[in-house]
Amino acid sequence: MPAKCSVLGKEKAKASPHEEVGKTRCRQTLREAARCVCKTEEIMGAVELINHLGKACFIQGLHNERIQTIVHSRGESILLSQAIEISLEEEGE
């Protein structure tokens, strides 16, 4: 039975081996695409942009607007992992 993930307002099941393979392939494809369109000195910027967009999508996807605001208010410099940790801490309060 999937665990309830109230932060995101969805059922959250453990990833199957097929989903993990899919995520790995997606990351590989994204890296390959960045290498194709970016100069060597631009790769780090492309990765930073991808990380920033991932964090923004996570924050927008949060179910609770109060938690969205709290996570967003921590600033642009926090990592996605930190945003997730903050949201889980706030949900527990």
Per DSSP, the residues of 14-63 read PPPHHHHHHHHHHHHHHHHHHHHHS-GGGHHHHHHHHHHHHHHHHHHH-S
Q: Which residues contact 50 (CB under 8 A, 6 or more apart)?
A: 30, 34
Q: pLDDT tens digits, residue range 49-70?
A: 877 887 888 888 888 899 999 9
Residue 50 is part of which domain span?
A: 3-92
Instruction: Judge whether residue 24 has pLDDT over 80.
Output: no
What is residue 34's predicted lDDT score, i.e. its pLDDT?
A: 83
What is residue 63's predicted lDDT score, i.e. its pLDDT?
A: 85
Number of domains in the chain: 1
Q: pLDDT tens digits, residue range 30-47?
A: 777 888 899 989 988 888
Mean pLDDT of 3-7: 44
Burial status of residue 57 (CB atoms within 10 A of its CB: 0-12, 13-18, 19 or more): exposed
